[in-house]
Structure 1
Amino acid sequence: MTSFELTRGDTPLLISIPHAGVRLTPEVEAGLTDQAHALTDTDWYMPELYDFTERLGCSRLRGLYSRYVIDLNRPADDTPLYAGATTGLFPEIDFDGRPLFRPGLEPAPQARTQALAEIWQPYHQALAAELQRLKARFGYALLFDAHSIRSQVPRLFEGPLPDINLGTFEGASCAPALSERLQALCAAQSTYSWVLNGRFKGGYMTRHYGNPADNVHAVQLELSQHTYMAEPEAGVDYPGDAIFPWREERAARVRPLLEALMSDMQGWVPQGR
């Protein structure tokens, strides 16, 4: 089972895209409700939006399976990352709180154990190994964890999200100097709203792998989907074959900021290196 795609680069930066996958295991596909087959909580079009990363020469890791099978950005023991409403390692509800599976057709414990062993673990093994390779080569490693989400998800937060949601686990996952550089880039533009460590402070990957004391610096970006696509609407039951269109004119506007953030992160060198 191939659960991820990894392209090794020649810079200290690794971009992780864990939630753009749409593959389903047979057990999950057979049990999903009609509306859940639309996979509305996918981080849609992330590889396309970040296509400039190939030109930057950074490493790229992409998950291929849907978060409805297993959420790669949750800990293996399913410890909650946020207080209040959330979704877990093996989601049974979507972001709006609707059941993902028809009654009695939730994946069996054996299927979930298999997903943990064959999807979650290989992704994290690849991520850890690539960070170790980069650290061995450059003396430090940088992780940029790329996500997107609908601009409004009433069950998870009140009102619209900022466009750019940076997370550094309240400053624990990267050096302050790196965080300050990224904030300065956001503050220098007026097109997109932004916040640091707001509703999204960084998921499992940012918290687990970001360790400045060990020369690994991690930042998460949760991007509002309306900045580049026609995003799903909250609470709408979409058919399983629904398509949420890409909007190139929007993507073309937001890409320069995304590239600037990643280029600046990639060009940053920790003090003493």
Structure 2
Amino acid sequence: MNDWLAIHPGDAPLVVAFPHTGTDLADCEGGFLSPWLARRDADWHVHDLYAFARDLGATTVRTAISRSVIDVNRDPSGASLYPGQATTELCPTTTFDGEPLYAGDGPDAGEIARRRATWFDPYHAALSGELDRLRAAHGHVVLYDAHSIRSLIPRLFDGRLPQFNIGTNGGATCAPALAAAVSAASGADHVVDGRFRGGWTTRHYGRADDGVHAIQMELAMRGYMAEPDVPTEANWPTPLLADPPIGPNLRAILTACLEFRP
């Protein structure tokens, strides 16, 4: 077992994936201009925020590797998920705000291939294996891809992001009933297929006709941690709130996923 890959098998037809909560820069740390910048855009605390999922019987799959090393939620071919919009690459060369992560061009094709074989491929092999196991047992499985992001990032989106951002790639990755149930549990401050329509994981695995219903949830971080106006090395990340206001919604959302039947 890879020490950077944490798999907690459950018996319920739900897999909760954590592709971006890791901060380990592994053997790539020396190549970054700033290790802090290379960690800054992590989905801070999200695996702890959803720790209750295991008590519900869900399977969780998490990589500890930072998205700046390789983003396991990007198309491995390098194709953009959001053509014409600012985004980051399979092996990002900038932060969300556009600051360079490397002094030069970043990793070359050979290095990208090495990182893919070392971290991307094993993560997805594990995720695929758990989905296959649960689909065989239940006839269907829900993949819930858990994310978060700062509420204000002008380079990526205008204004303040809604609290709950549900991605189904225009309804292509899951049954409408699942999207409707997750929307209802999210409350008023949500959007479906807004700026975030679901990353590569959601789009790749979401095959409702084959029994895999995938949905991405991008949380605005203000719902579970304090967000400074300008994140700096001195003030970021802030701790997970002891009683996050969105906690009841998240429990209702995962319960809706567990109760979903095609």
**Count of matched residue positions in the alignment of Structure 1 and Structure 2:** 260
Please say if 1:66 is aligned against 2:101.
no
Please say if 1:14 is aligned against 2:7.
no
**Of the candidates 183, 200, 220, which is equivalent to residue 224 of structure 1?**
220
2:79 alignment partner AA: T
Supply the distance in 1 between the matched residues of 2:112 and 2:171 (Cα, whole angstroms). 33
Following superposition, the deviation at residue 21 of structure 1 comes to 0.5
Structure 1 residues 248 and 258, CA, compared in 2 at 3 Å: closer, same or farther? same
SS at match of 1:230: coil
1:85 alignment partner AA: A
**Structure 1 partner of 2:251:** 259
Provide the identity percentage.
40
Supply the distance in 2 between the matched residues of 1:209 and 1:126 (Cα, whole angstroms). 13
**Of the candidates 227, 241, 249, which is equivalent to residue 248 of structure 1?**
241
**Structure 2 partner of 1:48:** 48
1:171 alignment partner AA: G
Q: Deviations over 1:52-94 (max 9, x none)?
A: 1121110000011000000000011011000211111010001
Q: 241-250 vs 60-69, which deviates more?
A: 241-250
Supply the distance in 2 between the matched residues of 1:93 and 1:111 (Cα, whole angstroms). 17
1:152 alignment partner AA: L
TM-score (norm 2): 0.93
SS at match of 1:221: strand
Following superposition, the deviation at residue 37 of structure 1 comes to 4.1
Supply the distance in 2 between the matched residues of 1:88 and 1:174 (Cα, whole angstroms). 25
Following superposition, the deviation at residue 232 of structure 1 comes to 5.5
SS at match of 2:135: helix
User: Any unmatched runs of 5+ in structure 2?
Assistant: none
User: Any unmatched runs of 5+ in structure 1?
Assistant: none
1:153 alignment partner AA: I
Following superposition, the deviation at residue 248 of structure 1 comes to 1.9
TM-score (norm 1): 0.90
Structure 1 residues 16 and 263, CA, compared in 2 at 3 Å: closer, same or farther? same
Aligned partners of 2:173 and 2:207 also within 8 Å: yes
1:177 alignment partner AA: A
Please say if 1:199 is aligned against 2:192.
no
Aligned partners of 1:144 and 1:219 also within 8 Å: yes
RMSD, matched Cα: 1.8
